[in-house]
């Protein structure tokens, strides 16, 4: 299979030194890319800003913003069989960005924001024929919200987790499937979680081929 994996945060710049971002280390996405490569798949990794060393044998594309990640995904997805959207893409970006540092006392007291595109939702609604895997980090009513995303974005499955996993080497998560199934990963390493996610994506691809 050809895996396309996204990882890390996006930085939405207000000026050259200030930005809005989600708290994401990129560890989960990098672990998935590493596991997919270990299992013999071709892997493209699109990564927002992180301090992680990329796995060997993969194609790495570095991006900064949500819009640049969207552009990179559109370029790669045509030759991919599976997209695992593990990146924490910022929901909003500043309506205006300054090319020079905004000096103290001269900047705005409020920042006008505009929504970033829902990249995974766009791909799901386009009925792209590959396997689609999403992540949903929730603080409350998590499973219900994750199931809404699963349905609205037309995903094969979604991994719901909590803020405690950010930056950690382990994860507790619930995997929700489009057919109503659920599977719990309780305090496992991200390497172990990546192994399960990659194998579930492989299974989803096989099932799709068998029903054609």
CA dist 203 and 158 (Å) reads 15
Instruction: Enumerate long-range contacts of 174-179, CB under 8 Å, 24 or more apart.
Output: 174/142, 174/143, 174/146, 175/200, 176/143, 176/146, 176/147, 176/150, 177/150, 178/150, 178/151
- Asked whether 130 and 81 are in contact (CB, 8 A), the reply is yes
Length of the chain, in residues: 212
Mark out the alpha helices in 27-170 (DSSP H runs).
27-38, 66-76, 119-125, 142-152
- Asked whether 200 and 208 are in contact (CB, 8 A), the reply is no
As given in the structure block, the two tokens for residue 17 are 């030194």
State the catalytic residue, choosing from 13, 15, 22, 113.
22
Mark whether 22 is an active-site residue. Answer: yes
As given in the structure block, the two tokens for residue 187 are 């305090």
**Beta carbons within 10 angstroms of residue 105's beta carbon:** 5
Q: Which residues are part of the catalytic machinery?
A: 22
């Amino acid at each position: 299979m050809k895996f396309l994996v996204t990882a890390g945060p996006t930085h939405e710049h207000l000026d050259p030194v200030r930005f809005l971002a989600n708290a994401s280390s990129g560890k989960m996405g990098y672990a998935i890319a590493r596991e997919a490569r270990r299992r013999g798949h071709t892997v493209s990794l699109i990564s927002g800003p992180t301090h992680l060393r990329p796995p060997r044998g993969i194609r790495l594309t570095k991006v900064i913003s949500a819009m640049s990640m969207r552009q990179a995904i559109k370029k790669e997805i045509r030759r991919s069989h599976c997209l695992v959207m593990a990146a924490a893409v910022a929901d909003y970006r500043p309506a205006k960005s300054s090319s020079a540092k905004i000096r103290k006392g001269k900047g705005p007291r409020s920042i006008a924001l505009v929504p970033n595109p829902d990249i995974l939702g766009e791909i799901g609604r386009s009925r792209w024929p590959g396997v689609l895997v999403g992540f949903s980090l929730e603080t409350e009513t998590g499973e219900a919200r994750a199931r809404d995303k699963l349905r609205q974005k037309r995903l094969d499955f979604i991994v719901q987790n909590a803020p405690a996993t950010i930056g950690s080497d382990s994860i507790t998560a619930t995997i929700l499937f489009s057919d109503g199934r659920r599977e719990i990963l309780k305090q496992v390493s991200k390497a172990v979680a990546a192994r399960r996610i990659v194998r579930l994506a492989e299974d989803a691809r096989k099932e799709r081929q068998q029903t054609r």
